[in-house]
């Protein structure tokens, strides 16, 4: 089939490459010419493990190309909207990019063949109808006749995006249009239930977990839109719960890692998303909880549990700052080395990361900050121009003259740091590991005082 994907970001570039790997002819459309050029030269416009090689293979096979023009919409059987939906200051989703993509589709759409327009962006309930009416207005076509709009929320996680798109747990499709439903089943068929990718085995990752048969779930547009927000908010609540439990474990002298492991053995609860952290963050959970909350208030049905998770999450950031302050007595004149600026490992995405809140808390209390991230420093710096941070070229360098090293993101390379050498550079040998990621290391032997979150004293 012929597919157009509007938006060459974290979702669009992965989605486009995955449909190309399924044998479809894909054009990714982005208004940012630099992203278009990168794809056409066989490189990924974002950092995502494995994506460079996959895009290169698909471009070489002539199944994938990119453009900053909407011409390919004319030939497309299916056109995805995968543009950003950032938060507005009041927390509601800003649909400006979605509206402009819908208008451009309306101008370019072919009047003589049926096209399915699919919302893949995370959008508030009712947006499929809004997209349909804008396309109707621009094209003069009637929704349901020569085009139909469907909702197909995306559930991929950054850092594991290829595994998630090639081996999904579920595909959710929301449309009341029978022809659109048929076309989308055909589009997704090659991706469903695949365990091997034959000639593409070198560019499609092997699954890292036992796979269940993916569920292809069909519903109406609004329910599909709602499923996305409710899923993300549920996961945020789950993490906030274990983070609050971690604080209690600390007071009670119990070990939150063992508690989470034991709790997660109940198949009704599950082991995932019970990893302690300095709080959830990133380009999705903060904005999606904010939109869901504002919708809930608008309709007089506030989701107080989600609000509690948001508040608890903020206090988790503060808790980490306070833990460092308590240990060092004061932060005035102290230097803190920060490891990790992205909201999780294996991404360069530094949008709405916990590091900005925590670093700004440290600076407010009088500390100076040196920081390192393997992929996210450039974006972090651009998004946080007001934070006075000394950016380091290695993790080791953050230890120079430091009174404490604070690990925020559990990048693999931080497990290989030479702590003996780091100890020599540090003024005060203290480490706070907010992911309990390095707890197994022989800290006492190295003469470093190590703290995790909710795990008590480490031998
Ligand atoms: N990032 C994730 O992990 C993830 C996962 C699931 C869902 N989502 C949702 O998917 C959507 C996209 O997220 P993202 O992280 O990929 O965003 P992004 O900002 O990385 O990418 C969006 C891209 O769209 C382009 N764009 C904007 N308006 C355009 C237009 N009118 N025409 C052509 N190009 C246009 C931008 O230049 C940009 O490259 C959001 O709604 C997000 O909530 C994101
Ligand atoms: O046990 C955990 C799991 C995650 N996190 C944190 O939670 C945030 C989000 O993590 P994750 O969900 O892995 O990252 P995203 O790439 O933001 O993915 C989420 O947001 C996407 C965008 O909507 C959805 O598609 C995904 O399904 C959903 O998991 C990050 O700060 C993580 O460090 C924890 O603190 N503990």
Closest residue by Cα to residue 355 from 329, 375, 326, 332: 375
Query: Is 284 tagged catalytic?
Result: yes
Which token pair is 217? Answer: 């779930």
Q: Is the pLDDT of residue 92 over 60?
A: yes
Which token pair is 343? Answer: 């909201």
Atom 14 (ligand 2) nearest CA = 157
Cβ 219 vs Cβ 172: under 8 Å: yes
Mean pLDDT computed over 281-298 = 97
Atom 19 (ligand 2) nearest CA = 157
Ligand 2 touching residue 154 (CB < 6 A): yes
pLDDT band at 199, cuts 50/70/90?
confident
Ligand 2 touching residue 73 (CB < 6 A): no
Q: Map tokens 């509206």 to a residue.
A: 99
Q: Is the pLDDT of residue 68 over 70?
A: yes
CA torsion angle 33 39 43 48 (round to 10): 90
Q: Where are the domains of the chain?
A: 2-219, 284-452
Helix-helix angle 221-252:256-264, to 10 degrees: 140
Provide the pLDDT for residue 211: 82
Q: Is 285 helix (H, G, I), strand (E, B) or coil?
A: helix
Asked if the domains at 2-219 and 284-452 fall in one CATH topology, the answer is yes
Annotated binding site: 30, 35, 85, 122, 155-158, 228, 273-277, 287, 344, 351
Ligand 2 touching residue 312 (CB < 6 A): no
Q: Is the pLDDT of residue 209 over 90?
A: no
CA 82–ligand 1 middle distance (angstroms): 5
Mean pLDDT computed over 196-222 = 89
Percent of the chain clearing pLDDT 70 (strictly above): 99
Mean pLDDT computed over 266-294 = 97
Higher pLDDT, 84 or 192: 84
Question: Tens of pLDDT along 140-163?
Answer: 999 999 999 999 999 999 999 999
Which token pair is 104? Answer: 């451009």
Strand partners for 313: none
Question: Tens of pLDDT along 293-344?
Answer: 999 999 999 999 999 999 999 999 999 999 999 999 999 999 999 999 999 9
CA 329–ligand 1 middle distance (angstroms): 43
Choosing from 249, 284, 320, 392, the catalytic residue is: 284
Architecture of domain 2-219: 3-Layer(aba) Sandwich (3.40)
CA 46–ligand 2 middle distance (angstroms): 18
Cβ 379 vs Cβ 344: under 8 Å: no
pLDDT band at 196, cuts 50/70/90?
confident
CA 392–ligand 1 middle distance (angstroms): 29
Any residues with CB less than 8 A from the CB of 267 and at least 6 apart, and which? none
For residues 403 and 369, what is the distance between their CA atoms, to the nearest angstrom? 10
Ligand 1 touching residue 93 (CB < 6 A): no
Q: Is the pLDDT of residue 248 over 90?
A: yes
Mean pLDDT computed over 278-297 = 97
Question: Tens of pLDDT along 33-62?
Answer: 999 999 999 999 999 999 999 999 999 999
Provide the pLDDT for residue 459: 43
Q: Is the ipTM here above 0.90? A: yes
Q: Is 277 exposed, middle or buried (0-12, 13-18, 19+ CB in 10 A)?
A: buried
Provide the pLDDT for residue 457: 57
Q: Is the pLDDT of residue 458 over 60?
A: no
Q: Is the pLDDT of residue 393 over 90?
A: yes
The pick from 119, 156, 239, 341 for probing ligand 2's pocket by mutation, whose C-beta has the most ligand atoms within 8 angstroms, reads 239
Q: Is 87 helix (H, G, I), strand (E, B) or coil?
A: strand
Class of domain 284-452: alpha beta
Mean pLDDT computed over 377-389 = 97
Pick the atom of ligand 2 nearest to 228's CA: 23
Smallest-distance ligand from the CA of 410: 2
Rg for the chain (alpha carbons), in Å? 23
Percent of the chain clearing pLDDT 90 (strictly above): 95
Pick the atom of ligand 2 nearest to 353's CA: 31
Do β-strands 389-391 and 115-119 pair in parallel, antiparallel, or remain unpaired?
unpaired
Q: Is the pLDDT of residue 83 over 70?
A: yes
């Amino acid at each position: 089939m012929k597919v157009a994907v509007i938006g060459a970001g974290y979702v669009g570039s992965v989605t486009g490459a995955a449909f190309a790997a399924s044998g479809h002819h894909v054009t990714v459309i982005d208004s940012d010419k630099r992203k278009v050029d990168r794809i056409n030269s066989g490189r990924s416009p974002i950092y995502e493990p494995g994506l460079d090689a996959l895009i290169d293979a698909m471009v070489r096979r002539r199944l994938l190309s990119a453009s900053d023009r909407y011409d390919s919409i004319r030939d497309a059987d299916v056109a995805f909207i995968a543009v950003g939906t950032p938060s507005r200051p009041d927390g509601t989703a800003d649909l400006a990019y979605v509206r402009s993509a819908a208008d451009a589709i309306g101008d370019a759409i072919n009047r003589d063949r049926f096209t399915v327009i699919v919302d893949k962006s995370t959008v508030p309930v009712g947006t499929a109808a809004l997209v349909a009416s804008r396309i109707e207005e621009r094209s003069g076509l009637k929704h349901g006749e020569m085009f139909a709009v469907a909702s197909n929320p995306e559930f991929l996680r950054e850092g594991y995006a290829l595994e998630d798109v090639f081996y999904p747990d579920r595909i959710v499709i929301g449309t009341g249009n029978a022809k659109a439903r048929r076309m989308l089943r055909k589009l997704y068929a090659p991706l469903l239930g695949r365990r091997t990718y034959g000639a593409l085995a070198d560019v499609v990752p092997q699954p890292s977990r036992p796979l269940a048969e993916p569920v292809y779930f069909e519903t109406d547009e609004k329910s599909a839109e709602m499923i996305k927000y409710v899923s993300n908010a549920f996961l945020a609540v789950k993490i906030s719960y274990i983070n609050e439990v971690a604080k209690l474990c600390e007071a009670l002298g119990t070990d939150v890692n063992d508690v989470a492991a034991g709790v997660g053995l109940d198949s009704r609860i599950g082991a995932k998303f019970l990893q302690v952290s300095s709080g959830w963050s990133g380009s999705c959970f903060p904005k999606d909880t904010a939109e869901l909350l504002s919708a809930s208030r608008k309709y007089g049905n506030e989701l107080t549990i989600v609000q509690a998770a948001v508040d608890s999450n903020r206090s988790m950031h503060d808790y980490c700052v306070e833990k460092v302050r308590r240990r060092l007595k004061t932060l005035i004149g102290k230097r803190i080395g920060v490891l990790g600026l992205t909201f999780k490992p294996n991404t360069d995405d530094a949008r709405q990361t916990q590091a900005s809140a925590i670093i700004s808390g440290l600076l407010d209390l009088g500390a100076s900050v040196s920081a390192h991230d393997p992929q996210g420093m450039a974006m972090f710096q651009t998004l946080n121009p007001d934070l006075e941070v000394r950016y380091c070229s290695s993790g080791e360098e953050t230890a120079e003259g430091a009174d404490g090293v604070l690990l925020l993101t559990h990048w693999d390379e931080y497990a290989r740091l030479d702590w003996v050498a780091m100890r020599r550079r540090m003024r005060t040998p203290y480490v706070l590991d907010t992911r309990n990621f390095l707890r197994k290391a022989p800290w006492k032997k190295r003469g470093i005082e190590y703290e995790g979150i909710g795990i008590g004293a480490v031998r």
